A and B are shown apart, each in its own frame.
Chain A
């Protein structure tokens, strides 16, 4: 398996003789109910540096930057901009101080053009817009920093990577000097990430300060000049790039509690037997904003994890939905364990032993206002129904939750709390426990580790591997190529609703996949 990467690493070391910091955070403390998100954090941002904020989910990175951006206000602590204490009560204040932020999920309006989106962001617009002046600025910044997008195109028609560029342009035209990127690479393909890092290089040459929030070590080592590691709301350490090593950063992030990652144990499992799932030339109708699946043929055998790579929105959701019976095949057939299940409804497919881990557990997997136990019961109502459905055996539900959590060696949960009060990791564990507790033969796992801290993510991956090892089949949709490479027995690449490649993980490197994902050259051969 290829684990090497040839991303360009930043060679310029941060110049310690540089001028005074652009922004200084001192003693920032922020409490949320039951948790201290930031505990007297100090941080300096200098002009001309890429400053990575690294840490697990929930370490307080985003909170800290949202305080700087005026999204939250700190309980205590001070912020100085250009050496002068600043009061930042709202994002508008932050923008006036020339601080800008790119959020995890982009904030563009799809129906409006690039130029309109940028204009919308600018403060102090005159009543009558000077569109030409704005277009000139977009053009100017675009040329200067290789942010070449056509300002007249509607945002919905441009690639995700270009949308990212629009987000950056927005900040530049708005005259920001401090650019904060919150997990900005999540939706990007590998070569788009590299493109972003090249943009960083040019920006910092011109004295911009860039904050790059992430939990991915690879990216940090590729682009940062200084790296601040956060852990449970505190600064665990700040390193300059030349001092930083992968091991050193891991140690800072986790202390010694670093769990071990699963490795492929290829060749030991048998992947024969009738396929658990077979899609034969399945085509769907386009529905609303969704992607139309086009002539999909796919097999998942017992003891096999099939990984699905692709830029999100290229049919991953529809592929999962067609397996779960949520959308109909316009053409083609769906077979489950050799039986034609083309016309089965979702309930029957689920009852036949198909489980799912949705991409958005709170929105798609559970009923937020119900308790963990009620949600667990919903997963297999018939099992718990008594007296023909007139009552439900809650003791049985509770027992099963306990057993399931124990088997997966998850930390136990109180089954009587509403799931909306759970953390992301707890929620994902509850969903995994529910679905695995049903002993599914086939599991459709969509982004099962998204939004999870590293430990929860590993636990989730371990669960998938265990299911596979016990003869189950898994469809793993993920945007994390490392995850796909380490778990999958077979990889397929989706682009615009078609399977554009099928590979064994050792046959292909991440660049080739990246190009297939974005439809920018590269073939199956």
Chain B
């Protein structure tokens, strides 16, 4: 079944872009297609001016893109530190400096590094998942509903960390259903509905757009 039709999304280096839209709009499908988990029937995906359409995920990871799925995004029987080590699997050199950077972003993970991730809370798991995706120092990270199922204060903390990650120069593409928080820190945003992109504007403008507010941001 074709879920996406003529979607066009663009990210500049270092940007944060949020894609919002109702359930079933094709947001997760778009993420999976970009990351090579699904093959598009047509069209092109360019990354760093390189055509990556149809490349498998393990190749795309090596090009400097990382993906954090919405659910099942950690290895629960591994410790937090082992999860981060897995993020650096393809590296043969020492990556302890990179791990220190991640612990700098998420000091809580350093405290809990020997704990099994399966025993951690939703917010902590999200930190582990993002930390794992950051291990290879990607140019772009795809976040699928990073605040889903999190209490509001935890969601705010995650968005604060997303902004901090972006400060280090990483471009971030977020899809969100409840997107107010996400749009606040985004440079630009897209509205996806029924598999097409309907609007494109800056994050601020989308937030203040009355029609979009009513339709997609819960008034």
Partners in one complex: no
**Residues of B near any A CB (own CB < 8 A):** none
